[in-house]
Amino acid sequence: MKTRRGGAADRQAAAERLAAEPDAACAAVRPDLPGLDGHELSTRRATELRAHLADCPSCAAVAAGHRSVRRTLAELASHPVSPPADLLPALLEQARAPSPRAKVAVYGRGVLSGARPGVAAASAGVGAVAAAGLGVLAWRALRSRRVAAVVEPA
């Protein structure tokens, strides 16, 4: 036979601890407040919350806010909403127009596929000049270190 953990004495001690620390009591109650009026909590937990709300005006105000939001959402759900008649044609028109990103992607694809050989050749030439320039700079830096090492031996 399974024994229940906790009993009336444990619940009483927990209630006394929470009563001694009102911020802790509120912190323990507030996560469950949205489910209070929606019948999403157990009967025991709902009773505990209602007892706390009777003594705590700040939590009662938070609970009233949750009730207001729940009521507003229920009212909104009861009103049918239909999109404007010109929404679909406007969306289709926007979908047909190429975006700047798509235009750049097409330009890049042309360079890579060979459809624009002039741009591809210019890009390759710029890359080759840049690589040669970096190579010359690296060669000069190494050469100046070697010359300095030969002139002033350690």
pLDDT per residue, tens digit, the chain (154 aa), is 444 455 667 767 766 665 555 688 888 888 998 888 877 889 899 999 899 999 888 899 999 999 998 889 888 888 888 888 999 999 998 888 877 766 665 555 655 555 567 777 788 889 999 999 999 998 888 887 776 666 666 5
Please give the model's pTM, rounded to 2 decimal places: 0.41
pLDDT computed for residue 76 by the predictor: 86
Distance CA 56, CA 52 (A): 6
